[in-house]
Structure 1
Amino acid sequence: MSAGTRSSERYDGGPGSFLDPALSAALARDHSALDLRTTKAAVVFWDISGYSRIADALQHGGTELLRNIQEFLTTAAQAVQRNHGVVHKFLGDGLIAVFGSSLGGPATAVSQPESELARPALTAAAELRSDFTGIADRWVASSGAPDPGIWRVGLRCGIAMGDVHHGRLDLGPMSSLALLGHPVNLASRCCADAEPGQVLVSGRVRAAGAPAFGFHPAGPPRTLKNISGAQQLWAVGAPDEEVV
């Protein structure tokens, strides 16, 4: 895996805990860089639809499963870091990333315009969606599976933005990097509701991402689990498309 996903990237007090290299470097400069704080950020969730089916079919092929996930997570981490975000956590065949103005920096950092948070997140999502097509094709080509249909997978993505609460939690002999708040929950629900290959975003992300990205309504407003009020979600089109 790349430097962005090495298991050796850990932080004080958290044996086995991953820390994005950008945050690790910030922590080396200033031990308070990961103190609990509230900041405006864009939160992105990714998940591979259909990968559980592959895991079941290859339950005796752990090496291939790990190789596939390593390729995907490495590519995902590179897309995040290339667009100045940080990987918060890997979740099996998915991950969470954050694009925020004071992540790993002074708690008093001046807040960036929302467009400067949303657009890097949207760019990372677009790049990874494009990259995943080639990744999935390579998985099929190398599988040797008698039924190529089990390799029908798609990348789902959800993005939301707003005030998030993040920082290091000291849990006795363990440590954890917390990421809490409404945008985290909403991004997770957007990802869960996305169709394979689709990037779903909140209205706030859509407003901040225009006109660099095109959007269209993803159906009528919907009720999402543990999110108050009906939410109008937006599907992301290609950059420079006309915005609805």
Structure 2
Amino acid sequence: MRDPARILVVDDVPDNVEILRMRLESLGYEVVTAVDGEQALTAVRETLPDLILLDIMMPRIDGLEVVRRLKADRTLPFIPVIMVTAKTTPKDVVAGLEAGGDDYLTKPVDHGALIVRVRAMLRIKALHDEVQGLNRELEAKVAAQVDELQRVSRLRAFLAPQLAQAIVSAGDERILENHRREVVAMFCDLRGFTAFSETAEPEDIMAVLGEYHGAVGPLIRKYEGTLDRFTGDGMMVFFNDPLPCEDAPERAARLSLEVRDAVAALVPGWLRRGHRLGLGIGMAQGFATLGRIGFEDRFDYTAIGAVINLAARLCADAADGEVLVSSRLAAAIEAICEIEDLGERQLKGMARPAAVARLRAVKTPPEADARG
């Protein structure tokens, strides 16, 4: 509410208007006047007063109709109305209040009563404005939180929750725009899944995939990998993007071995149900182009480049329970992992042979050996 408060005085008798104007201005209020209902409606919309003193008995549009129209107009802010009437019967007072008036004064207007009622209505106006302001702030905060939740939800489709939250908290999603960066890419898929899916019931296929994804998904989150996509039994995960991590090769190595072991633990149960399945994993390190692809409300974050193709080919060549890695990645993790050099292999779909190594396990620290 403005200071000083603006009060609209409406009466078809000029002397009444002048008396109220002088009294209110002597109290420090700004006063606007109107001499009939039509002028009053126009003045309200043009000046947005903080309070209206409204005579009931007026020609053309009386005060009761004026207050009804004002209270029905949703475009106007809350403006308290004091009905001013020469009639003092309870019926007349009730009619004014039922029409939408907030209080009343009787003519001739007592100066003391005028002061008390005006101050009371202005306090109500000030409190209402304060509550409205708080509501707007709350609505803005809720809208911002909903927007953040939606952004986190979109990002969690391919990022670990903590990474998604970090990007949203930073308030800048430009990190997801197309760019080039060195990554470690990991592909894994089930061996024997094609033959299995050709003969198994759909319910059995969904059950196997549910167990497989349920075992692997938490591990991807544990190591904060970026999940590119699910393709049935296949998954692609990469590290060092969109947020960089210095230990990307180690994270990828540890993830691949834990995924291998987690799926191996599922295999006996699958065998008991007649499902002969295994897992192969391929990993490579190198530069890729990364960014969002898709359309409004449906996008993925992906990586493309030779390193991605190499990881996919290594995965396709891996036997059940085998983790094959490129020579560059093998060199990056040889200090912490047991690596077996397999020499060069001609991988399907690649023009030249590639140097390949097998990742066996994470090396046990010397102090752990001593305790053992």
What is the TM-score normalised by the length of structure 2? 0.52
1:78 to 176, 193, 218: 218
Task: Answer yes or no: is 1:129 the counterpart of 2:129.
Answer: no
Cα distance change, pair 173–121 in 1 and its aligned pair in 2 (3 A) = closer
Q: What percent of counterpart residues are identical?
A: 22
Q: Choose between structure 1 and 2 for higher RCO, CA contacts under 8 A separated by at least 6 residues.
A: 1
Aligned length: 211
1:131-186 CA-to-partner distances (Å, cap 9, x unmatched) read 11111112233x2xxxx3xx222100000011121111254675332310111010
Aligned position for 1:4: none
The alpha-carbon deviation at position 49 of structure 1 amounts to 0.6
Q: What are the equivalent positions in structure 2 for 1:142-161 lying under 5 Å apart? A: 143=273, 148=274, 151-161=275-285
Q: Which amino acid aligns with 2:314?
A: C
Whether contact under 8 Å (2:239, 2:248) holds in the other structure is yes
Residue from 189, 194, 215 that aligns with 1:47: 189
Q: Which residue of 1 aligns with 2:158?
A: 19
Q: Map of 1:1-244 to 2, 5 A cutoff?
A: 11=154, 18-22=157-161, 24-29=164-169, 30-58=172-200, 61-100=201-240, 103-105=241-243, 112=246, 116-141=247-272, 143=273, 148=274, 151-171=275-295, 174-218=298-342, 220-240=343-363
With 204-213 and 28-37 compared, the bigger mean Cα shift is at 28-37
Structure 2 distance, partners of 1:20, 1:171, is 18
Q: Which amino acid aligns with 1:45?
A: F
**Any idea what the Cα deviations from partners look like across 1:13-72, whole Å, max 9, x if unmatched?**
xxxx943344543453322231111111100000101012221221xx222211210111
Question: Offset of 1:84 from its aligned partner?
Answer: 2.3
**CA distance, structure 2, for counterparts of residue 83 and residue 47 of structure 1:** 19
- Whole-angstrom distance in 2 between the partners of 1:41 and 1:47: 20
Deviates more, 1:90-99 or 1:18-27: 18-27
SS of match in other structure, 2:345: coil
Over aligned residue pairs, what C-alpha RMSD do you find? 2.5
2:100 match: none
- SS where residue 20 of structure 1 aligns? coil
Q: Deviations over 1:171-222 (max 9, x none)?
A: 467533231011101000100111111000000110001121111123x412
Any stretches of 5+ residues in structure 1 without a counterpart? 1-8
CA distance in 2, matches of 1:26, 1:56: 42
Larger radius of gyration: 2
The letter of the residue matching 1:66 is M
Secondary structure of 2:354's aligned partner: coil
Tell me, yes or no, if the aligned pair for 1:26 and 1:104 is still in contact at 8 Å: no
In proportion to residue count, which structure has more helix?
2
Contact 1:10 1:19 in 2 (8 A): no
Where 1:232 maps in the other structure, the secondary structure is strand
Moved more, 49-58 or 167-176: 167-176
Shift of the 91–10 alpha-carbon distance from structure 1 to 2, 3 Å rule, reads: farther
Q: Are the counterparts in 2 of residues 215 and 235 from structure 1 also a CA contact under 8 Å?
A: yes
Q: Which moved more, 1:125-134 or 1:169-178?
A: 169-178
Cα distance between partner residues in 2 of 1:221 and 1:184:
18
TM score, norm. by length of structure 1: 0.77
Extract unaligned runs of 5+ from structure 2: 1-151, 365-372
Distance 1:223 1:54 in 2: 27
Residues 2-23 of structure 1, C-alpha deviations (whole Å, 9 max, x = no match): xxxxxxx8538xxxx9433445
